[in-house]
Amino acid sequence: MRVLAVGAHPDDIELGCGGALLAHRARGDEVTLLVMTTGEQGPQDARSRIGEQEDAAELLGATLRWGGFGDCAVPTDRSAVTVVQDAIDASGADLVYTHAPLDTHQDHRATAAAVRAAARRARRVLLYESPTTTDFSPVVYIDVATLVEAKLDLLRAHMSQVLKNGLVDLEAVEAQARYHGFRGRLRNAEAFESDRFVWDLGGSEPTAAAVAAAPAAVPVAAAPLATVVVPRSRRP
Ligand SMILES: [Zn+2]
């Protein structure tokens, strides 16, 4: 599977779906990150945040792309959609992660809108929660039972945010994984809203083994006729 995760700022993706991306990498999926801005308005200068995001991508074994937009100025017009479309085309992604739409940060809202427009033909679109999300009703849960510590390591790569920005709180990240795990009947989980999630059980293209194992179809003419038993008392 090829996966594209899109976030407005460095650390958004790791916070929202870092555990899921680690699970993808563990099963050999290709992961691409698209970060729309360098987060230069944050408590650290842009150079540091670029380096931190590069370190996190390397830890994850993911390809990193930048959107090239200004922090707090992700546009809501076609230019943002085009950047996401280019990333979908380049990565060949069949699963796209991004921000949930209801959020107090304008960059998160603009990124969510651009991704949902660009991914309108994708079969799977999962929307993650941010510390600034205002309303969130998850329907898809991903088991990250053994990956919480590794997710915290991804976040530690964003040291300027962990130390200086109260929104990146590693204790809260752990608690959130446990809470979503509880709701998803798991130990630890990440949770997502979804526009679409096609669950492929292999029904559209059966494998050779499945075809060989399936019972031969019974021709219509050879099918036994149904027998209807009419109780004696109701016979004419
Ligand atoms: Zn953000």
pLDDT of residue 158: 87
Long-range contact set of residues 63-66: C-beta below 8 Å, sequence gap at least 24: 63/30, 63/31, 63/32, 63/33, 63/91, 64/32, 64/33, 64/35, 65/32, 65/33, 65/34, 65/35, 65/90, 66/34, 66/35, 66/36, 66/38
User: Do 93 and 118 meet the contact criterion of CB atoms below 8 Å apart?
Assistant: no
User: Is residue 226 in some structural domain?
Assistant: no
The tally of domains found in the chain comes to 1
pLDDT of residue 25: 97
Domain that includes residue 132, residue range: 2-200
pLDDT of residue 162: 73
Whole-number Å distance, alpha carbon 210 to ligand 1 midpoint, is 46
User: Do 148 and 19 meet the contact criterion of CB atoms below 8 Å apart?
Assistant: yes
Whole-number Å distance, alpha carbon 104 to ligand 1 midpoint, is 10
User: Is residue 105 in some structural domain?
Assistant: yes
Higher local confidence (pLDDT), 228 or 24:
24
Mean pLDDT of the chain: 88
Whole-number Å distance, alpha carbon 12 to ligand 1 midpoint, is 5
User: Is residue 209 in some structural domain?
Assistant: no
Mean pLDDT, residues 128-152 taken together = 96
Whole-number Å distance, alpha carbon 15 to ligand 1 midpoint, is 9
Residue 146, pLDDT above cutoff 90:
yes
Q: How would residue 200 be classed by pLDDT, with cut points 50, 70 and 90?
A: confident
Whole-number Å distance, alpha carbon 164 to ligand 1 midpoint, is 14
What's the pLDDT tens digit per position in 33-60?
A: 999 999 888 766 666 889 999 999 999 9
pLDDT of residue 161: 77
Long-range contact set of residues 231-234: C-beta below 8 Å, sequence gap at least 24: none
Whole-number Å distance, alpha carbon 11 to ligand 1 midpoint, is 7
Whole-number Å distance, alpha carbon 215 to ligand 1 midpoint, is 53
pLDDT of residue 183: 96
User: Is residue 72 in some structural domain?
Assistant: yes
Give 165's DSSP letter. Answer: -
What's the pLDDT tens digit per position in 59-118?
A: 999 999 999 999 999 999 999 999 999 999 999 999 999 999 999 999 999 999 999 999
Q: What CATH number has the domain bearing residue 104?
A: 3.40.50.10320
Whole-number Å distance, alpha carbon 230 to ligand 1 midpoint, is 71
CA separation for the pair 30, 63 (Å, rounded): 8
User: Is residue 210 in some structural domain?
Assistant: no
Residue 203, pLDDT above cutoff 50:
yes
User: Is residue 214 in some structural domain?
Assistant: no
User: Is residue 158 in some structural domain?
Assistant: yes
Residue 222, pLDDT above cutoff 50:
no
Whole-number Å distance, alpha carbon 131 to ligand 1 midpoint, is 9
Amino acid letter, residue 56: A
Report which of 110, 114, 109 is spatially closest to residue 125, judged by C-alpha positions: 114
Residue 211, pLDDT above cutoff 80:
no
pLDDT of residue 61: 97
Whole-number Å distance, alpha carbon 163 to ligand 1 midpoint, is 16
Let me know how long the chain is: 236
CA separation for the pair 83, 188 (Å, rounded): 33
Whole-number Å distance, alpha carbon 9 to ligand 1 midpoint, is 5
Whole-number Å distance, alpha carbon 206 to ligand 1 midpoint, is 42
pLDDT of residue 106: 97
Mean pLDDT, residues 168-195 taken together = 95
Whole-number Å distance, alpha carbon 225 to ligand 1 midpoint, is 65
What's the pLDDT tens digit per position in 102-112?
A: 999 999 999 99
pLDDT of residue 210: 56
Mean pLDDT, residues 15-26 taken together = 97
User: Do 88 and 4 meet the contact criterion of CB atoms below 8 Å apart?
Assistant: yes
Please state the φ and ψ torsions of residue 119, each to the nearest 5 degrees.
Answer: -95, 25
Whole-number Å distance, alpha carbon 101 to ligand 1 midpoint, is 12
Q: How would residue 224 be classed by pLDDT, with cut points 50, 70 and 90?
A: very low
User: Is residue 22 in some structural domain?
Assistant: yes
